[in-house]
């Protein structure tokens, strides 16, 4: 996934693929809006790895992706979809 000058989607996809056991099953879709939203889908057994204990991993991913988007003065949100 490429977002032109903004690489938040690429950063998100890289982070999620690095964590899961089945990286080829990772899907990242952007829904335009204010803020833009990234919907992340992973293989059935990988959702727990992405969410982490008490959601700490998911929160960390959101923080990094928001920082990447902030460089382009964009607001983004990340949703992990079953």
User: In CATH, what number is assigned to the domain containing residue 49?
Assistant: 3.30.300.20
- Domain encompassing residue 76: 8-80
Could you list the pLDDT tens digit for every one of the 82 residues in the chain? 544 445 899 999 999 999 999 999 999 999 998 899 999 999 999 999 999 999 999 999 999 999 999 988 889 999 999 8
In angstroms, rounded to a whole number, what is the distance separating the alpha carbons of residues 50 and 27? Answer: 13
In angstroms, rounded to a whole number, what is the distance separating the alpha carbons of residues 52 and 15? Answer: 13
Cis peptide before 35 (omega within 30 of 0): yes
Sheet containing strand 27-31, edge to edge, reads 27-31, 36-41, 76-80
Is residue 73 in some structural domain? yes
Question: Is the Cα torsion angle 51, 54, 60, 65 positive or negative in sign?
Answer: positive
Is residue 1 in some structural domain? no
């Amino acid at each position: 996934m490429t977002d032109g000058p903004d690489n938040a989607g690429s950063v998100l996809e890289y982070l999620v693929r690095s964590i899961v056991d089945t990286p080829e099953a990772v899907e990242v879709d952007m829904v335009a809006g204010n803020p833009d939203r990234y919907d992340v889908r992973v293989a059935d057994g990988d959702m727990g790895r992405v969410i982490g204990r008490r959601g700490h991993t998911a929160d960390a991913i959101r923080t990094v992706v928001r920082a990447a988007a902030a460089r382009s003065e964009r607001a983004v949100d990340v949703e992990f979809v079953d």
